[in-house]
Amino acid sequence: MIDMKKIALALLTMMGGTIFFNSCSKDFLKPDPLSFYEPALTFTTEEGLQSVLAFCDRHIKLYYAADHGELLPIGTEYMFSDLMVSAATDRARMLSDMANELTPTSLDIGSDQRLFQSLSQTNSIWHFWHETYYVIMQANTVIQYVDDIETLDEETKNMYKGRAYFHRAFRYLNLVFQFGDVPLLTKVAQVPKLNYRSTKRDAILQMITQDMEQAVEWVPEQSEMKSRGMVNKGACRMLLTKCYLALGEFEKAKVQTDILIDQSGYALITGDSFGTFNDGGEPRTWPITRNIIWDMHRAENKLIAANREVILGIPNRGSDKESFTKMVTMRILYPFLFDTKVKTKDGKQALLNLTRSHADYNPQYDYMRAMGRGIATWRPTYFQTHDLWKVNGRMDETDLRHSSAVGNWIRMEDYRVNNKASSEFGNPLTLRDDSGNELCSDTIRRWFDVPHYKFYLDDPVNEANINSNGYQGATNGGIADWYLYRLAEAYLLRAEAKFYLGDAAGAADDVNEIRKRAKCTELYQGTVTIGDIMDERARELYWEEWRNVELTRVSLCLARSGKPDEWGNTYNVDNFDKQQGTDPNGGSYWYQRIVHHSFYNKYNTPIIVDATGKNAILYTMDKKNIYWPIFSASITANSKGRLAQNYGYDGYDPATPKWETWEEAIADEDNTGG
């Protein structure tokens, strides 16, 4: 019998350089995926296929949360975008100077588990590489063996195959916009293969588009399925839409979104309330005025039957590792406030995190319980918290997504000094004293706004402990269901397709539908730019969309369409991702969004974040960083072949052979070079 476990480990060794199953847990492989550890069951029974597909469904959440302690994987997508930067200023290995620090060897894990743990606290580039190929292998098992199960009729086989196509295509779409040209694996290897070539991005896009066309035909609608969280026809249409956009098939993309919006039974959540109301933990500290934006983003409302906006959600609840992964948004994404680096005008510590058992506890000032004990692994850019919310040159004061008045958004001045030892007790926090001196000695990590409606999650573990001073977000036993696709994004994808097709007025109508739901008064008048569409994605889909992937995908779409960006730049398919340098000119649309809106490349000297002059941080981004480097360990482990390194990184060689078509790559998969 073929030892599938050894083959799986050998393949992962090549793809990742070493075997660390990096959900930061030695139990990552429990329950063991049947496709590699019980092949007889998987290859001969429907139950085996269901188990593998359930495994693939569950693993979508590991792109958002992975029990990494002080890091959530999706944050890496945002630190390579216009919306966030690293903020863990006390970490020597914090990744901020991308132009110089991001190399093929800087992120290799090697055999040093301590290095792995250190890196896992700052970025998830390794996680995305490993996790993506790991699930691709599972999907390939279903695709390869489903036809061998004689008890299934053709319709049922196609349904399973279509769901597996989704999982494979979802991972490959993200891979090619994170890493560029990558190895294409479509089969379960019979023996270890160490002579892979990279396959060109467009070839992979063509293959997964063809697969998703089949999946849309074969996979049932959500209404025909037993539970939410399983891949359905609507999710397949969403993914197919993105594939069509990436290939420049803009009319086909529009057709798919037309069907989603008008013919599939979905509808935007509207009105003034929805589902069950969550009061936000401690309403005496931070009261929530019930509103539609708050309600639709409560974890307990995301997958209820009444939610007709969700197309594909990510179930994440329960108390065991199979069903639940901690989503510690309130730990990682809120300011680091409870220490002496945030002071009052009279020199006292401004905010204390007193437990409910403390003699001085006052429920009117329980910011730790209402907003979590933040440590700010990342922080938003000024653009994300301020300029993004201007439309038609004016701040939209009624946008519920940016409203402190209803409790959805937290500004620093919303906090009030809760230290009774200060004469400022009860007054709003201030950044400067009366002489203009800063009262916060690390504004990167400790002074920024928060979209509370997106990040607030109940913390049942710490809520049950009256002595706890460490609220984090959804801990064991909590609810952290998340959105992967919802109808709002379909409107924005249709707006994008219309823009490329020359219908800017129609695109504006779609964007305005989303704005109207948020009670905005500033609507787009007659036309939109691609920047307007991407701004609305940032407002509506923050921490849902894969921001780095989407900016890179749109960079390709702009190059294919010939349409200008919001600054009048046009791009060329041949070189938008083949440029290098940190100057503000040229590069891709991804790069232009970053240099216009992020911290990167805006400073000629390091940012000093500590009053003592220590912890100087340099934020840079290079045009080449549109793709992450291929790990050197993966290249060298592929000992009988040659993987291509990305442009601008050490080891790049334009002469490295690549598969031009997906058919060639598949034909070579059985060739092990022996």
* DSSP-assigned letter for residue 431: S
CA distances from 579 to 101, 247, 305, 427, 623 (A): 18, 21, 48, 51, 6
The yes-or-no verdict on residue 510 having pLDDT over 50 is yes
The pLDDT, as a whole number, for residue 89 is 82
CB 261 within 8 A of CB 309: no
Tens digit of pLDDT for each residue in 356-366?
A: 999 999 999 99
The pLDDT, as a whole number, for residue 37 is 47
The pLDDT, as a whole number, for residue 174 is 98
Which residue, among 204, 238, 236, 244, has the nearest Cα to 217 in the 3D structure? 236
Query: How many other CB atoms sit within 10 Å of the CB of residue 196?
Result: 26
The yes-or-no verdict on residue 661 having pLDDT over 70 is yes
Query: How many other CB atoms sit within 10 Å of the CB of residue 394?
Result: 10
Per-residue pLDDT band at 606 (split at 50, 70, 90): low
The pLDDT, as a whole number, for residue 92 is 62
pLDDT (mean) for 472-493: 95
Per-residue pLDDT band at 123 (split at 50, 70, 90): confident
CA distances from 190 to 3, 55, 184, 424 (A): 9, 22, 16, 70
CB 470 within 8 A of CB 373: yes
* DSSP-assigned letter for residue 471: -
Per-residue pLDDT band at 116 (split at 50, 70, 90): very low
Query: How many other CB atoms sit within 10 Å of the CB of residue 276?
Result: 10
Tens digit of pLDDT for each residue in 145-177?
A: 999 999 999 999 999 999 999 999 999 999 999
Q: Give the total residue count for the chain.
A: 674
Helix (H) or strand (E) holding 51: helix 46-59
Per-residue pLDDT band at 95 (split at 50, 70, 90): confident
The yes-or-no verdict on residue 24 having pLDDT over 50 is no
pLDDT (mean) for 438-450: 94
Please give the share of the chain, as a percent, with pLDDT higher than 70: 89
Query: How many other CB atoms sit within 10 Å of the CB of residue 584?
Result: 12
The pLDDT, as a whole number, for residue 381 is 96
Helix (H) or strand (E) holding 482: strand 482-486
Note if the bond before 31 is cis, omega within 30 degrees.
yes
CA angle, 89 then 90 then 96, to 5°: 40
CA distances from 212 to 234, 263, 291 (A): 11, 19, 37
pLDDT (mean) for 107-112: 50
* DSSP-assigned letter for residue 436: S
First to last CA, the chain: 21
CB 300 within 8 A of CB 278: yes
Beta-bridge partners for 379: 85
The yes-or-no verdict on residue 550 having pLDDT over 70 is yes
652-658 long-range contacts (CB < 8 A, ≥24 apart) are: 656/198, 657/197, 658/181, 658/197, 658/198, 658/199, 658/200
The pLDDT, as a whole number, for residue 602 is 75
Kindly report the pTM of this predicted structure.
0.93
Structure-block tokens of residue 593? 């969004």
Work out the burial of residue 447: count CB atoms within 10 Å of its CB; fewer than 13 is exposed, 13-18 middle, 19 or more buried.
Answer: buried
Average pLDDT score, the chain: 89
pLDDT (mean) for 82-104: 87
Work out the burial of residue 571: count CB atoms within 10 Å of its CB; fewer than 13 is exposed, 13-18 middle, 19 or more buried.
Answer: buried
Q: Per mean pLDDT, which range of 62-76, 145-159, 621-635 is the poorest?
A: 62-76
Q: Is 569 left (phi over 0), alpha (psi -120 to 50) or beta?
A: beta
Tens digit of pLDDT for each residue in 369-395?
A: 999 999 999 999 999 999 999 999 999
The yes-or-no verdict on residue 119 having pLDDT over 60 is no
pLDDT (mean) for 310-335: 90
pLDDT (mean) for 545-553: 98
The pLDDT, as a whole number, for residue 191 is 78
pLDDT (mean) for 122-141: 90
